[in-house]
Structure 1
Amino acid sequence: MNIYLGKDIQNELILLLSNTIKENILESARLAKYFSIIIDCTPDVSHVEQMSMIIRFVDRASGTDDCEPVHIREHFLGFLPLKETSGAGMTDIILNQLQEMSLPIEHLRGQGYDNGSNMKGDIYDALIEISEDTTLTGVSGNTARVEAQGLAKGIFNFKFVVSIVLWYNMLTEVNMSSKMLQSKEFNIHTAITQLKVTKKFLEDCRSDKGFSKTLVDARTVAEDLAIPALFEPEPVRISQKKKQFNYEADDEPILSPEEKFKINFYFAVLDRAIQSVEERFTQMNEISSVFGFLYDVHSLQNRTSKVILEDCCKLEQALQHGDSKDIDCIDLCSELQAVTTVHRDVARQFELQEETFTNVQVPAMAGEGPSQPKVPSTGTSLPTQTMPGLPEESTRFASITNFARQMEGRQETCRRNIEDRLQMIGDSVDRLTSVVELVALYK
């Protein structure tokens, strides 16, 4: 047998090819000097956390010719198993890997991370450590220390905590709506309803009551982080504006730091969010005003024929171009009324069946008083056949058996009626689907 067909030699060949390709990639990255890394983590089938590493750099070798522009390269370098998913553990692995690949950390100009839940390190402590690191010298080192000190001071601030709480509440609500809008079961009607809920949430937050609630949550977080729950005062500058008229009043600056934060940041962010919701879905509201009634057939039961005809006429006008039109409003109105009637009849059949099985009185057994099974829907009693020579218990058992057979016949009849009604609904839905497809093709 040929030894080159074995799994060991094949894996060795694949490893040699991988190392050669990886070395060529790293050689191009060293030639480019500056690079960035992209890190992502995901568990494998054996529940071991695997960290993928991607390098990104500008390929200068491809731009040796003046006619050929340089290219931005992005290469996958491999998977690295993680024993510890904390920020410190991932940092050690990244630093060791860069050292093995002979990529200086000083030339690292960008970092991208996904799956942020794995970054469990204390950012504030890391910034303080950088700002106090005396080994960072030179212009770049001093700049890094000053920037780290400024970031640490900005994080250790009650305003920052309040802003984080605000963004968390907003993005949580927006994320829920986004996931619901991306589901296959959603249509225009339900999408508009969900957007109204999101807008209502943002409007409730943009109030004094909403701001007070945000402050309560922020104070709880600040207490856990040992951050003073106070708005630090800022210097107030009063601009001297020349008055054009005598009746113009002087500008009164906002002296309260809390009130200033609420007006200049809190309300400003929520105003922009509300405005974005209104701007992004204005077109959807316009489409819903024309096609929305087709996606809410159940509500047609509470509408009059005149209102349904008006909606159909509006849809006909929207799909009309000159003398050519895709639908006829009268025919569509008739179809919708037929669907509504069938839906109402089927619902009534289910209600009658439920009432029948709920209110049926089972014949009394031995030792109980004489009674007859009654069906409230017809108001008739089933006769009890008395068989000579049989005890009273056998007679009542025969009555129950007779009653069960009659009820089984009623169930079969009701089932056939429901199947016929559902078939009619299916035909009507097929016709409505054709209309919706024409609408989508037109749009």
Structure 2
Amino acid sequence: MILQYVDIKKEPEVSQHHVYIKESILGFVPLKETTGAFMTETLVDELQNMGLQIDNLCGQGYDNGSNMKGKRNGLRQCVLDMNPHAFFVSCSAHSLNLGVNGAVKCCLQATKFFGIVQHLYNFFSTSTHRRQVLVSIIKDLTIKPLSETRWESQIDALNTLRYLLADIYDALLGTYEDINLKGSSGSLPQIEAKGLADAVSKYEFVVSLVTWYNILFEVNITIKHLQDKDADLNSATRHFYIPTKQYLASYDIHGIKNAPTTDILHDCQNLEKSLTHNGHHNIDARDLCSKLKAVSRRLTKPMLPQAALDFIFEQKLQDCASNIVTVLRILLTLPVSVASGERSSSKLKLIKTYLRSTMLQQRLVGLATLSIENEEASNLNLAKLVEKFASLKIGKWNCIDDTEENSDDIYNGVLLDLENNASSHSDSDHVESDRLLKDYDPP
């Protein structure tokens, strides 16, 4: 579970506020079932244990699994039934990855092209002799396979082919002419090398290589931006701009000053309706409309939501423009992707090794949190933490009233307790008991 929130801190040096978009891991939660109902129950219980109310949730994001984002019985719908303004945002990076994957599967020429690329990797990687022929022509060359899950990473496999295709063609011909390759399989490797050499030298393959390299290069840049933990919904949309989504430009408060008031009020009323639950309104539409017009006249240039929120706090307008602050914080809190959560899982293989195979859940979550939130952990006062830990582990010898009046009763009580449990103690336990009684000498 990862919590994304907006943190507004006051910088003591300059005496002004600054806005940060933060993600904090709440821990790894084991699931006995993967149904939407059970995951919802587990989510609510975990939030309640941490003192968090699900009514305060303003956004949710998961991967594209049916049990997570299902519109009927998925986790997202179960949460929306309890809190309608917990807006669901599908993982943009995962959706883009699925879009590229679907585009490849729908095109016969693309499927054939990537099949040849994977065949090239298999041909050189399964034989040390063939690989030696390749390395003798191209020094320090590494041919990478296609990724099964991350289609944007296919750029790594195409990068070598894009600029070294002629050398790879020479390596295939060298393998075809090498008489030392004949073995138990006969001349099959040479025939395979000849077939691959003919395939990569065709005009269709070269055009597909250049085209898909350019496409995946742009897709890879976009997905890297979407996976940035500091990315918000507005910046992600602007980076991956689609002309049919021009209405998202209304996030720019600076441009509102030139828009008709009736249009702004209509949008504010729709937003107020979306943020209303059980008769409670998070914002007031008319006040939001008037304050947007007022703040837009004070902005000197177009600003992203985070910069606009910074400006409001710098000008000390947060009290009079509270509705704008609420809307901007919700916008900045909405998740763009779940890449951070998936990266957090990679920490587990560094913590739970074969030397720690019997680690319990509580210790695993604690160590993982320290590793993932290392920046916050480095700012902790270890001296105070050790002192607090020691106070919680204090023994009963320091907790009792060790006065002259009670010392005899204490001594007799300890002696009686040791005698009652003597039968269950070993010889070493008796030695330790005698030492304790000797050390405790009542006045």
Give the TM-score normalised by structure 1: 0.32
Which structure has the higher relative contact order (CA within 8 Å, separation 6+)? 2
Q: Which of the pair has more CA radius of gyration? A: 1
Give the TM-score normalised by structure 2: 0.32
